[in-house]
Amino acid sequence: RYGLAEKEDQVGVVTGLAWTSVGGEILSIEALRLPGKGRMKTTGKLGDVMKESIDAASSYVRSIAPTIGVKPPRFEKWDIHVHVPDGATPKDGPSAGLAMVTAIVSVLTGIPVRKDIAMTGEVTLRGNASAIGGLKEKLLAALRAGVKTVLIPQENEKDLPEIPDNVKEGLEIIPVTHVSEVLKLALVRQPEAVDWDEEAEDAAAAAKALQTGDGPGATAH
Amino acid sequence: RYGLAEKEDQVGVVTGLAWTSVGGEILSIEALRLPGKGRMKTTGKLGDVMKESIDAASSYVRSIAPTIGVKPPRFEKWDIHVHVPDGATPKDGPSAGLAMVTAIVSVLTGIPVRKDIAMTGEVTLRGNASAIGGLKEKLLAALRAGVKTVLIPQENEKDLPEIPDNVKEGLEIIPVTHVSEVLKLALVRQPEAVDWDEEAEDAAAAAKALQTGDGPGATAH
Amino acid sequence: RYGLAEKEDQVGVVTGLAWTSVGGEILSIEALRLPGKGRMKTTGKLGDVMKESIDAASSYVRSIAPTIGVKPPRFEKWDIHVHVPDGATPKDGPSAGLAMVTAIVSVLTGIPVRKDIAMTGEVTLRGNASAIGGLKEKLLAALRAGVKTVLIPQENEKDLPEIPDNVKEGLEIIPVTHVSEVLKLALVRQPEAVDWDEEAEDAAAAAKALQTGDGPGATAH
Amino acid sequence: RYGLAEKEDQVGVVTGLAWTSVGGEILSIEALRLPGKGRMKTTGKLGDVMKESIDAASSYVRSIAPTIGVKPPRFEKWDIHVHVPDGATPKDGPSAGLAMVTAIVSVLTGIPVRKDIAMTGEVTLRGNASAIGGLKEKLLAALRAGVKTVLIPQENEKDLPEIPDNVKEGLEIIPVTHVSEVLKLALVRQPEAVDWDEEAEDAAAAAKALQTGDGPGATAH
Amino acid sequence: RYGLAEKEDQVGVVTGLAWTSVGGEILSIEALRLPGKGRMKTTGKLGDVMKESIDAASSYVRSIAPTIGVKPPRFEKWDIHVHVPDGATPKDGPSAGLAMVTAIVSVLTGIPVRKDIAMTGEVTLRGNASAIGGLKEKLLAALRAGVKTVLIPQENEKDLPEIPDNVKEGLEIIPVTHVSEVLKLALVRQPEAVDWDEEAEDAAAAAKALQTGDGPGATAH
Amino acid sequence: RYGLAEKEDQVGVVTGLAWTSVGGEILSIEALRLPGKGRMKTTGKLGDVMKESIDAASSYVRSIAPTIGVKPPRFEKWDIHVHVPDGATPKDGPSAGLAMVTAIVSVLTGIPVRKDIAMTGEVTLRGNASAIGGLKEKLLAALRAGVKTVLIPQENEKDLPEIPDNVKEGLEIIPVTHVSEVLKLALVRQPEAVDWDEEAEDAAAAAKALQTGDGPGATAH
Ligand SMILES: [Ca+2]
Ligand SMILES: [Ca+2]
Ligand SMILES: [Ca+2]
Ligand SMILES: [Ca+2]
Ligand SMILES: [Ca+2]
Ligand SMILES: [Ca+2]
Ligand SMILES: [Ca+2]
Ligand SMILES: [Ca+2]
Ligand SMILES: [Ca+2]
Ligand SMILES: [Ca+2]
Ligand SMILES: [Ca+2]
Ligand SMILES: [Ca+2]
């Protein structure tokens, strides 16, 4: 059912690669940003490990928010919904971590994701890409689905010798060590950083509150 | 028990098609909008996958709210209750997704749903219709119930050759690829879009707050 | 234990009919309205389906609140507690839906329920009465308990030929299709509707808030 | 372990009677009222049915609050903790309902409970006493524990012929039909009612809020 | 692992005695008071009965707060964390109740607990000490650990004849009936009571609020 | 997979040592501090005991906050996320307690953790290091991973004689009794304490609130 990669670059839609008992599969990860209250919703019959990988992806993105142009208080005004169709198939595991980060960054910045790139890799809280299992099956699924480029964790380069030649010829396989490389390759343009200094903001907010409160007393009459 | 489609066009009532161990069945999906706090309630012995399909439908509708004439902050003032009778029969699966979207749009806009249309199809967070199982049994149930028109995902057109001729003659079967087509066909009239610019609204709210606070200090006495 | 119907007309007490493994039984459904925060509490060892039927009954009543004289914001100031004695016997199923609606309307309006009427029937979110099982056993229980009149869903009229003659002679059996008929028959007097226009109320509240805030700035001095 | 009834009249301590697999037992129900936020806490390895009986008792007491001298908003300022020692023995069933009501009324009013009275009986949301099982075993436990008087539901009078004569001679057994009789007998003095008119209170609160807000605008300068 | 009692008097650290399948054991109960919001956190793989005993201890302490010098509103500004190492060993049962009360009183008042005293005993919501099981095993564990004095419930005095003479000679065993005796013996100094009259405080708070609000309106201009 | 210790000193990244059925393992514990509301999130398929060890570590750090330069109210403005990769491997047990404390202190102070130090040890609410199991397997894992220095609880010194000589020669093994020693050894520089007096702060806040409220009334006009 997921044999076709998305047909155009879209915001919040990322092609992940999963490895199931019936072989490799393409996952079309969908994220939405909604006006809200900082909540994360996940659907698609996701197991606990995949849900945790979304939590970790979300915390990582919050930790680098200013570098993608998002001031942290903005998070309290949005909800994010991550859905992985189809809704009836159980999915689990941490290997969609890089794709989750990419989907979340895309909806937060409004920058589309390149449709011809797929990716697999666990992500740590520092944004490091770490090794996944079932590389061969995932690459086969990507090839069948018409994907051109696949990002894999550098830790999985050791598995490349056992990948069939026709797969390695049919796909551009790019090893990555960190989310920053993934975003450079997968987003159609790069987000601009914004200044953010937590203590300065706190001090400014406190000063403003003080001024608003004192103003009338000090200047009126 | 569900052999009869609804007798008149109603707001929030949509005819879905389910596939159970005892064959195809018509589901009469009922949604209500209530003054509230942005909560979603679901009843009718629904399984986790069907509940998630309601979550996904709800997020999709929130994401397109201005296009159906609803400003996003309105969601925080309403509760939505989706019930699928009868209350004692377990129901599950993602294939009522299109019907859930239609029911939610109907209650939010107050526009009735055509009573002679049934529909089946999973929905993604982007509003795409995706394939479902048990098409034959669902169409048979629609025919038995006196339905005239059935909307199915275009991804299921491949299953039409194996549908009996009498079914195909007795029903108008319309393949759809996106919720937008479903709403055009199923609502008795189309909602009008409303302007909504999140950042402009935020700025306006901030300006107004500032003015209210500063006004007295600047002009009084 | 439930062989005796209530001895006088009371607010919030409704006689329902249940069908259990040991035959038909009378349920004395009790509802209370308390100063509170819009919460619903249920007790009496109720199964999930019966709890959901109370949720559906509650949403239906909220959706028709103005027609029974209750302005919707009132709901946020009250809690409702529905208890079905005795507390040690498990109960489940959707067939007390009509009785739940009646009990909730009674406590919200303060209008007593006729003590000599029992009722059975599932209810939809639109207030329609739908078919229940075990009609014969339920009617027998009503007869044994001294009930005079029983309201049943019109969809169950098809089951009447198989009901023993002595039961049909001993009870007035009234088929109903909608909650509105139930309330006409079961309440000792009818509630009066109150005007309620959500948008007008919102506008009025906004205007008042504006006036309170702007008043001093615009008119003082 | 529970062979000794309490030695003096105390606020919030009520002697209940339980029936377990090892025979009848005395339960020393303890309630505390604490400054808080309207929460109910229960401890003592209580089963779901006993917890629900505490919920029902609590709602009943809230519904009659003014008749025991407590204005309903007071509930939002107190927490109540009900504990049934000893903490390691599982307890369940609805038959401590009357005792729960009595304990809650006692802590809310500060009126002590007579130490020489034990009681058993389920309670409905209207405060009616309803039948319990194991009457003989419970009365034997009461006798062994030195209790003088036992309140039982009138619905259990039918069980008295099978109670041994020495038990009936050693105990004053008083059948009751309603909580009001229980409170008259078990509290060392009767609470005084307080006036409470929900709508009048709401109107007064609204008027005061209005005055506070409008006052300056109308009269200042 | 718990063979050594704490080496100095500490705030919030109390030596309890447990009885497990492998014999008696010393528990080093640790409580912390943190700036917070009135929350109770418990860790150490505690079973439900031990958690409930902490709830009961906490409510008892709140109920006597003024007698230990703590005004009740203070509770809403603190969190309490109770930990029972080691973290990997399951622990359960109500017999650490007296120790929990002592630990909580110690952290609330900042008064250290005597390091050479161990204690065992269930506690009721009124602060009564009630009987525990496994007295012999617990006393042996205390002796092995170098404890000098053990507080036990007076209800367990009946078990002393079966305690070996060397244990009774090596330990000072003090029967207690109430928490008040425990605190006198276990705290290095006694807390001072503070005046607290809930209704007077409420009235004062209301008066102050009134004055703050009315002041400007009544006296300005 | 965890054969390589981190390559540079980082804030919030600590090398812990775990003992599993397949031998000893290195855990790379990652903590993040995010703008937030005082919430703790944990991911990495952690068992209940490991989650509790994080709770205990967190409470300990809150209890010593001023000594590491953090004023307690700051905690309500931050969330902390602790992740232990990889996400698919279940982990449990209390022996990462010292590492959890170190990771939390590091993210709160922004001081990096020395990359060449690993540590194992349970931690109590007072910050004491207590014994862990599987010391030999953990030390072997540390050696394999290229770790130079390992901190162990002094309570485990008794296990050193059974550690192979080559392990003891290849590693600097430092026994510790308290978190304070761990922080001195593991942080690249020591945090500076800040003054904090809860009661003084409360009094100051109250005085300021009073002044702000009274100021206008007392001095204006
Ligand atoms: Ca790594
Ligand atoms: Ca991995
Ligand atoms: Ca698709
Ligand atoms: Ca599908
Ligand atoms: Ca129907
Ligand atoms: Ca039905
Ligand atoms: Ca009754
Ligand atoms: Ca009963
Ligand atoms: Ca006792
Ligand atoms: Ca006990
Ligand atoms: Ca220790
Ligand atoms: Ca340990």
Strands laid side by side in the C78-83 sheet: C40-43, C78-83, C23-35, C13-20, C117-119, C149-153, C172-176
Q: What is the pLDDT of residue E5?
A: 45
Q: CA A122 to CA A153: how far, in whole Å?
A: 8
**Nearest Cα to Cα of residue A79 among B76, E180, D136:** B76
For ligand 11, a single-atom ion, which residues have Cβ within 5 Å? F 130
Say yes or no to pLDDT of B31 above 80. yes
Flag whether pLDDT at E179 surpasses 90: yes
3-state secondary structure of B9: coil
Cβ <8 Å between E56 and D83: yes
Q: Do B125 and A81 touch (CB under 8 A)?
A: yes
C172 phi and psi angles, rounded to 5 deg:
-90, 115
Average pLDDT over chain A reads 90
Q: How far is the CA of F52 from the centre of ligand 11 (A)?
A: 17
pLDDT over threshold 90, residue A19: no
User: Tokens 């290997």 sit at which residue?
Assistant: A95
**Whole-number pLDDT of residue D204:** 78
Separation of CA D146 and ligand 9 centre (Å) = 14
Is D203 inside a domain boundary?
Answer: no
Answer whether A45 touches B (CB < 8 Å): yes
Question: What number is the average pLDDT over the span B76-84?
Answer: 96
Record the tokens describing residue B146, joined without a space.
Answer: 């006196």
Give, in degrees to the nearest 5, the angle at Cα E23 between E18 and E25. Answer: 35
Note whether E154 contacts F: Cβ–Cβ < 8 A.
Answer: no
Active site residue D95: yes
D103 contacts: CB under 8 Å, gap ≥ 6: D12, D13, D14, D29, D30, D31, D82, D113
CA atoms within 13 A on the CB side of F83: 26
Identify the bridge partners of residue A128 per DSSP, sorted by sequence position: A178
Distances in Å between the Cα of A45 and the Cα atoms of A123, B50, B56 are: 21, 10, 12
At residue D58, the pLDDT reads 98
pLDDT bin (cut points 50, 70, 90) of residue A221 is: very low
Helices (H), chain D: 48-63, 97-109, 135-144, 165-170, 179-186, 198-219
Can you give the pLDDT at residue F1? 35
Residues F198, F188: Cα–Cα separation, whole Å: 30
Estimate to the nearest angstrom the gap between the alpha carbon of C9 and the chain centroid: 15
Candidate from F34, F88, F220 with C-beta closest to A94: F88
pLDDT tens sequence across A38-78: 999 999 999 999 999 999 999 999 999 999 999 999 999 99
C221 neighbourhood in chain B, CB within 8 Å: 220-221
Subunits adjacent to chain A (3 or more Cβ pairs under 8 Å): B, F
pLDDT of amino acid C202: 75
Best residue in A126, A210, A211 for a mutation probing chain F (most F CBs within 10 Å)? A126
A161 and chain B in contact, CB less than 8 A: no
Q: Is residue B209 part of a domain?
A: no
Q: Show residues of chain E in contact with D41, CB under 8 Å.
A: 55, 59
Whether B205 is in a domain gets the answer: no
Q: Which chains touch F (3 or more CB pairs under 8 A)?
A: A, E
Question: What percent of chain D has a predicted confidence (pLDDT) above 90?
Answer: 81
The answer, for C216 touching chain D at a CB cutoff of 8 Å, is yes
User: pLDDT value at position A148?
Assistant: 95
Q: Would you say residue E39 has pLDDT above 90?
A: yes
CATH classification of the domain holding F25 = 3.30.230.10
Q: Please tell me the distance from the alpha carbon of residue F99 to that of residue F76, in angstroms, as a whole number.
A: 23
3-state secondary structure of F113: strand
Say whether the peptide bond before residue F86 is cis (omega within 30 degrees of 0): yes
Å between B31 CA and nearest CA of chain C = 7
CA distance A122 to E143: 53
Range B137-154 average pLDDT: 96
Q: Which of F10, F87, F215 sits opposite A52 (nearest CB)?
A: F87
| Predicted pLDDT of residue B18 | 84
**Residue B155, pLDDT above cutoff 60:** yes
pLDDT for D210 equals 67
The catalytic residues of C are 95, 138
Judged by average pLDDT, the poorest of A84-93, B67-76, B197-206 is B197-206
Q: Give the span between the Cα atoms of F179 and F99, in whole angstroms.
A: 10
Q: How far is the CA of C2 from the centre of ligand 8 (A)?
A: 9
Shortest CA distance to F52 belongs to which of F79, F3, F92?
A: F92
Q: Could you tell me which residues are beta bridge partners of residue B19? A: B24
Do the Cβ atoms of A88 and B60 come within 8 Å?
no
Is A214's pLDDT higher than 80? no
Q: Which residue has the tokens 């109308």?
A: D218
| Mean pLDDT, chain B, whole residue set | 90
* F207 — pLDDT class (breaks 50, 70, 90): confident
Q: Which ligand is nearest to the CA of A56?
A: 2
Q: For residue F3, give the chain A residue with the closest CA.
A: A155
For residue D102, pLDDT beyond 80 = yes
User: What is the side-by-side strand order in the sheet with F13-20?
Assistant: F40-43, F78-83, F23-35, F13-20, F117-119, F149-153, F172-176
Q: Is the pLDDT of residue F191 over 80?
A: yes
Distance of alpha carbon E68 from alpha carbon D76, whole angstroms:
25
> Per-residue pLDDT tens for D108-154?
999 999 999 999 999 999 999 999 999 999 999 999 999 999 999 99
List the single residue in E with minimal CA-CA distance to F52: E43
Reported as a pLDDT band with limits 50, 70 and 90, residue E42 is very high
Beta carbons of A102 and A55 less than 8 angstroms apart: no
**What pLDDT was estimated at residue F8?**
85
> H helices of chain E, where?
48-63, 97-109, 135-144, 165-170, 179-186, 198-219
Taking contacts as CB-CB distances below 8 angstroms, the residues of chain A near B214 are 215
Give the nearest partner residue to A49 out of F12, F87, F219, using CB atoms: F87
The answer to whether the Cβ–Cβ distance between D85 and E216 falls below 8 Å is: no
In a domain, C206, yes or no: no
pLDDT score, position F213 = 54
Q: Flag the least confident range among C151-165, D39-53, E203-217, F162-176.
A: E203-217
Residue B214, pLDDT > 60, answer: no
State which H helix or E strand residue E122 sits in: strand E122-123
DSSP percent split of chain B into helix, strand, coil, nearest 5 = 45, 25, 35
Compute the residue count for chain B: 221
- Percent helix, strand, coil in chain D (nearest 5)? 45, 25, 35
- Contact partners for chain D, using 3 or more CB pairs closer than 8 A, are C, E
pLDDT grade for C127, boundaries at 50, 70 and 90: very high
* C-beta of residue F113 within 8 angstroms of C-beta of residue F184: no
In whole angstroms, give the CA distance from residue C65 to residue E209.
37
Query: Chain B: nearest CA to A36, how far in angstroms?
Result: 9
The residue-averaged pLDDT of E186-200 equals 91
Do β-strands D23-35 and D78-83 pair in parallel, antiparallel, or remain unpaired?
antiparallel
Rounded to whole angstroms, what are the CA distances from C70 to A76, B118, C39, C64, C76? 35, 35, 16, 9, 12
At B221, the pLDDT band (50, 70, 90 cuts) reads very low
What is the per-residue pLDDT across F77-124, written as a single tens digit (0 to 9) for each?
A: 999 999 999 999 999 999 999 999 999 999 999 999 999 999 999 999
**Neighbouring C-alpha atoms within 13 Å toward the C-beta of B193:** 6
In the predicted structure, residue C5 carries a pLDDT above the cut 50: no
Segment among D8-22, F125-139, F195-209 with least mean pLDDT: F195-209
* Residue F145 DSSP symbol: T
Q: To the nearest whole percent, how much of chain D has pLDDT over 70?
A: 91
Q: Nearest by CB to C34, from D52, D63, D214: name it.
A: D63
Best mutation target among B124, B159, B202, B219 (most A Cβ atoms within 10 Å) is B124
How many angstroms separate the CA atoms of E35 and E79, rounded? 6
Per DSSP, what are the bridge partners of residue D119? Answer: D16, D151
Q: Could you tell me the pLDDT band of residue E212, with boundaries at 50, 70 and 90?
A: low
In a domain, F7, yes or no: no
Read off the pLDDT of residues D179-193 as tens digits, 9 standing for 90 and up: 999 999 999 999 999
E80: which chain F residues are within 8 Å (Cβ-Cβ)? none
A97-109 vs A179-186: helix crossing angle, rounded to 10: 60
Question: How far, in Å, from the CA of A92 to the mean position of ligand 4?
Answer: 18
User: F57 is in which domain, residue-wise?
Assistant: 13-195
Q: Among the options D28, D58, D95, D106, which is catalytic?
A: D95
Q: Which of A34, A85, A221 sits opposite B124 (nearest CB)?
A: A85
State whether residue C1 sits within 8 Å of chain D by CB: yes
Of E140 and B197, more confident = E140
Q: What are phi and psi of C209, to 5 degrees?
A: -60, -40
How far apart, in whole angstroms, are the C-alpha atoms of residue A97 and residue B183? 35
User: In this model, does residue F219 exceed pLDDT 50?
Assistant: no
Q: Are E136 and E217 in contact (CB under 8 A)?
A: no
**pLDDT tens digits along F41-59:** 999 999 999 999 999 999 9
Nearest to B81 among C125, C198, C213 (CB): C125
A160-169, B148-157, E12-21: which has the minimum mean pLDDT?
E12-21
* D83 contacts E94? CB cut-off 8 A: no
Length of chain D: 221
**Residue E67: closest CA among E127, E130, E129:** E127
In a domain? residue E4: no
Q: Chain E interface, mutation test: which of F37, F126, F178, F211, most E Cβ atoms within 10 Å? A: F126
**Contacts of residue E209 in chain D, CB cutoff 8 Å?**
none
Q: How much is the pLDDT for B96?
A: 97
- Cα separation, F16 vs A192, in Å, equals 36
Q: Please, what is the angle between helix B97-109 and helix B179-186, to 10°?
A: 60
Tell me which chain B residues have a C-beta less than 8 angstroms from the C-beta of A30.
124-126
Question: What DSSP letter does each residue of C130-195 carry, written as one string?
Answer: E--S-HHHHHHHHHHTT--EEEEEGGGGGGGGGS-HHHHHHSEEEEESBHHHHHHHHBSSPPPP--
In a domain, A106, yes or no: yes
* B206: in domain: no
Shortest CA distance to B22 belongs to which of B89, B87, B85, B83?
Answer: B89
Chains F and E touch (3+ CB pairs under 8 A): yes
> Closest to A35 (Cβ–Cβ): which among B94, B124, B198?
B198
Distance from Cα B184 to the centre of ligand 4, integer Å: 22
For residues E54-65, average pLDDT: 97
- For residue E43, list its beta bridge partners: E83
Chain F: closest CA distance from residue A72 (Å): 7
Q: Do D55 and C81 touch (CB under 8 A)?
A: yes
Q: Are strands C122-123 and C129-130 parallel, antiparallel or unpaired?
A: antiparallel
Residue D48 near chain C (CB below 8 Å): yes
3-state secondary structure at position D123: strand
Whether B53 and A81 lie within 8 Å, measured CB to CB? no
Chain F hits for E221, CB-CB cut-off 8 Å, are 221
Region F30-37: what's the mean pLDDT? 96
Query: Which pLDDT score is estimated for E187?
Result: 98
E108 contacts: CB under 8 Å, gap ≥ 6: E33, E61, E65, E68, E70, E78
Dig out the tokens for D31 from the structure: 């309630």
Of F198 and B71, the structure prediction assigns the larger pLDDT to B71
pLDDT for C215 beyond 50: no
Tokens of E77: 């500004």
Strand partners, A130: A122
CA-nearest residue of chain B to A4? B155
* Confidence (pLDDT) at F210: 67
- Encoding tokens for residue A4? 């076709």
- Per residue, what are the HEC states of chain A? CCCCCCCCCECCEEEEEEEECCEEEEEEEEEEEEECCCCEEEECCECHHHHHHHHHHHHHHHHCHHHHCCCHHHHHHEEEEEECCCCCCCECCCCCHHHHHHHHHHHHHCCCECCCEEECCEECCCCEEECCCCHHHHHHHHHHCCCCEEEEEHHHHHHHHHCCHHHHHHCEEEEECEHHHHHHHHECCCCCCCCCCHHHHHHHHHHHHHHHHHHHHHHCC
Residue pLDDT, tens place only, E70-119? 999 999 999 999 999 999 999 999 999 999 999 999 999 999 999 999 99
Tokens at B93, concatenated: 């699966």
Q: Using omega within 30 degrees of 0 as the cis cutoff, is the peptide bond preceding F48 cis?
A: no
Burial of F153 (0-12, 13-18, 19+ CB in 10 A): buried
The count of other CB atoms within 10 Å of the CB of residue F90 is 11
**What ipTM goes with this model?**
0.90
Of C132, C152, C124, C155, the C-alpha closest to C52 is C124
Q: What is the pLDDT of residue B144?
A: 94
Provide mean pLDDT across the span B155-171: 96
User: Taking residues C110-134, what's their average pLDDT?
Assistant: 97
The residue ranking higher by pLDDT, F22 or A171, is A171
Provide the number of structural domains found in chain F.
1
The ligand minimizing its distance to the Cα of F95 is 12
